[in-house]
Amino acid sequence: HNNSPMSSSSTNETSPYNIESNHDEAEVALFHDGVKTNPNPNQKFKTKQRTLVFSQRKVKPKLRHLMNNLRDLLPHSKGCEKHDTNRHDSLDFINDLCMSLNCSNALFFQQIGTQPFLYMSKSPIGPTIKFRLHNISTMQELRMTGNCLKGSRPLLHFDKQFDSSPKWKLLKEMYTQLFSTPHKHPKSKPFVDHVFGFYVSEDKIWFRNYQILMRQQKQGQQYELVEIGPRFVMEPLRIISGSFSGEIMYNSDHFVSKELKQKIKSEEYKKKRVHQMQNQARKVALLTKKKDDLAAVFNDANDLEMSDVDEGDLTD
């Protein structure tokens, strides 16, 4: 009889592991303080958490490629056809899509003019967070040396700033719900070979994706991070209590819409143009100013006096 903790014998009650001969390593039932975490390894996965990832029509190619990159990185994601949406249209139809496709989360990409936006929502109860995207770089553009297995589960790494205030704590929980692949999801593989990094800088969130590379050294195994991509920056603009509707819980003070920027720029240009016209009118008035006749008389008298002095000097 083998008393090893990895023994396949079912009579070893004190073993921290229980591996039956008819199951592989993925079906290991763990014990913690005498409580079995998975009492039935043959039980089917029930919590089929899915994230709906789609966009509106007529988005830029870069935004469409970013959406496809996220679909490849999230095994629990589900896509659907694009939808025609305008700027002032309601997005409540996304809740109906999530219900029909059995999705509990939603990532919706929208483009207004040249500005890309991202909506993250927990359907159907909320909340919903609206982001403006900056500095988008897809995998096809970066061509990094890192790589990961398609369908593998990622680790999530968060900056310490996410524990500083309720707003950042809510964002951390939303990222955890939408980007973390549930354990033993049907479309996931039992491997963890990459990590998603979320970092806060200047009230914006920077997203990075790294491969976990293991190297065998003399001192032992050492781990390195090699970037895979994509890269993008998320600026939180608004937090809504419900799913694409409800009370506004947060509004960014740093966000200035493109229309407001153009309006301010137009007003500054008008002021500058008015100032230029006033200066030009002043110059024209000085050049066209009428001559004084009396001033000409005094000029003639001065010329006569100077001519008399010059003639006297010549005679002397």
| Cα–Cα distance measured from residue 55 to residue 84, given in angstroms and rounded to the nearest whole number | 9
Least confident of 26-30, 40-44, 57-61, 219-223: 26-30
| Residue 6 pLDDT greater than 90, yes or no | no
* pLDDT score at 217: 78
DSSP 49-109: --EEEEEBSS--HHHHHHHHHHHHH-TTEE----B---TTS--THHHHHHHHTT-SEEEEE
| Cα–Cα distance measured from residue 113 to residue 123, given in angstroms and rounded to the nearest whole number | 27
Rg over CA atoms, the chain: 36
| Residue 23 pLDDT greater than 70, yes or no | no
| Residue 294 pLDDT greater than 80, yes or no | no
- Looking at per-residue confidence, does 92 or 230 come out higher? 230
What is the helix (H) or strand (E) element at residue 231, kind and residue range?
Answer: strand 231-240
pLDDT, tens digit (0-9, with 9 covering 90-100), for 56-109:
988 999 999 999 999 999 999 998 888 877 776 788 899 999 999 999 999 999
Taking residue 27's Cβ as centre, other Cβ atoms within 10 Å add up to 14
42-56, 195-209, 267-281: range with highest mean pLDDT: 195-209
- The helix/strand/coil state of 316 is coil
Q: Quote the percentage of the chain above a pLDDT of 70.
A: 75
Taking residue 178's Cβ as centre, other Cβ atoms within 10 Å add up to 22
User: Nearest-CA neighbor of 174 among 99, 123, 245?
Assistant: 123
Using CA atoms, how far residue 258 sits from 114, 115, 151, 179, 244, in Å, is 9, 8, 39, 30, 22
Least confident of 6-15, 153-162, 170-179, 194-203: 6-15
DSSP 112-138: ETTEEEEEEEETTT--EEEEEEEEEE-
Site of tokens 């070893």: 12
| Residue 2 pLDDT greater than 50, yes or no | no
Q: Which two tokens mark 42?
A: 């043959």
Contacts for 161 with CB less than 8 Å, ≥ 6 apart: 168, 200
CATH 3.40.50.1820 corresponds to the domain 51-255:
no
What's the half-sphere exposure (Cβ side, CA atoms, 13 Å) at 21? 4
The ranges assigned to domains in the chain are: 1-43, 51-255, 264-315
pTM for the model stands at 0.68
Where b means 16+ CB within 10 Å and e means fewer, 278-292 reads eeeeeeeeeeeeeee
